[in-house]
Chains A and B, each alone.
Chain A
């Protein structure tokens, strides 16, 4: 049974991505809602349907949580066209596993994101920024098709101004006013970021094709499989390990995932 949330704010991130800032309607519920970076919720636009979205903000930013939603299918189109600030939606969760926070402590962190794939990383990035002293070097590589398709533009500015973070942005094709990198994420990873391999954990998310080539690049650079962490996109409905939709082999992505290391991914049947 979903709990009712009120939309506090809608932020137009890109032409087809909006961030919905949510808060539970029931007094005191928001304080009880605890989640870890990487977990997801089932989001109901009642009458239209239920969709799976990662929580795009960190529990360390209290009083709300964000879902960044790209207009992609029927329900997300309804969400974009019919929901306004102040409207109510249903939320179930949080579900799924989370990024292995203990394994990340004391390491260099390299985040590699593409498009809407920055959303689950943002939850972890915020969490790590809010506990900055636990981690060493902190690099964010983020790319999108065009400069207009980059999410969280204001927040990226804050990250760029934060001297303890290194931020590398890239877009696929040149644009007149763009002064930063041009090229797909794996290329920039190898040619510009040139990450240190020792003591570094890489956390990546993006379109399936980007994840695939990013992992190939990381392997080429010399990263070990357990140091490559990704979060999988898979069709889900119940979030409870019942409906069967997210099965890959004997794994339930909704329970055993969505966060997997590359060595775990290698153990799954090659469905992607």
Chain B
């Protein structure tokens, strides 16, 4: 199935966005304490869909909440009853504006783990009911390296509608999925004109090339992936992880990290069960009740983190578990960069 492309100008894009906010349940980047987080908006003036990537949180929490109740119970002498929690706030039809393309890619990677074996129906429903509008960046930020990885940034189909700022001053809106096509047809038609793929292709290509040439960080992914596959015993893991404080922030801001913990909170006879973010960098992550811990040392946890990102997930699900967004590096209090870790360890391979 081929999808439409529309061309418009800055005012047309704003009208498109405003129409979405007016008609749909919309989530978009809203500034708070200097950072942008995706929250529900009711007017376009509250948010900035063009928020800077290095100060914008991931859209992951809209699909996999940071901490959410998954069950409640009542336990009295009369018996025990467990029940579902209140209605899922993220289950309805909704649109996300201003998602970064690497972040949208993160969901494509996460789909693999959520859709194998046991199907997480909550996640699936949220995915199914969400339309993602995502602008391709014009310029890479200092920590970005998405173009170095195993996916095609230029032809990425992780978003439903791709927005591109053409070098000709025009703005191109390209549907990538049927959901995106429907959104464009219903909300953009009044503000833009349809354009053939052949006519829009040169501008899109030129924009991509300018963007791709703006990267400070570049790696040879195939080489790094290959080298890391055979480097389990490298002493380099100790060097790269030595100054990590184990705060887990990198995992919490990551668009693809998906480890979680299950914990109960009790109040007299009732209680709730939470599913909250956790991280393999947490020293207690694999600590077993008897005191045995297969990853008691920091370098072992970092090895797990780096290899899960660049080797294991790829082996299991076919995708790299890092999308090159640089969020972890920006957030790290001790300036550890996953890009540097992967490269540095790989560079010591035989």
Contacts and interface: CB of A to CB of B under 8 A. Distances in A.
Interface of A: 1-2, 4, 25, 44, 46-51, 70, 72-76, 88-90, 207-208, 233-235, 237-238, 240-245, 247-250, 255, 269-272
B232 A269 contact: yes
Contacts of B290: 70, 72-73, 207
Nearest to B259: A244
Interface in B250-297: 258-266, 271, 273, 278, 280, 285-292, 294-295
A231 to B, nearest CB: 14
A244 B307 CA distance: 13
B264 A270 contact: no
Interface of B: 71, 73, 75, 79-82, 84, 113-114, 116-118, 120, 232-233, 258-266, 271, 273, 278, 280, 285-292, 294-295, 300, 304, 307-308, 311-313, 315-316
Contacts, number: 117
Nearest to A238: B262
Given A70-B290, A244-B258, A235 B75 contact: no
Contact of A76 (B117, B271, B278, B289): B289
B109 to A, nearest CB: 14
A118 to B, nearest CB: 15
A72 B286 contact: no
Nearest to A74: B289
Contact of A48 (B264, B280, B295): B264
A269 B285 CA distance: 18
B84 A51 contact: no
A230 B283 CA distance: 26
Nearest to B70: A1
- 10 shortest A-B CB distances, which residue pairs? A73-B289, A47-B266, A244-B259, A72-B289, A240-B118, A250-B316, A250-B315, A88-B80, A250-B312, A47-B271
Nearest to B233: A270
A46 B80 contact: yes
A1 B294 contact: no
A241 B289 contact: no
A74 B73 CA distance: 20
Nearest to A248: B294
Contacts of B80: 4, 46, 88-90
A235 B287 contact: yes
A50 B280 CA distance: 19
A40 B311 CA distance: 28
Given A4-B80, A249-B312, A250-B312, A49 B263 contact: yes
A129 B264 CA distance: 39
A51 B288 CA distance: 10
Given A73-B290, A90-B82, A271-B295, A1 B300 contact: no
Determine which residue in B117, B287, B290, B315 has the highest number of CB atoms from chain A within 10 A of its CB, and name it.
B290
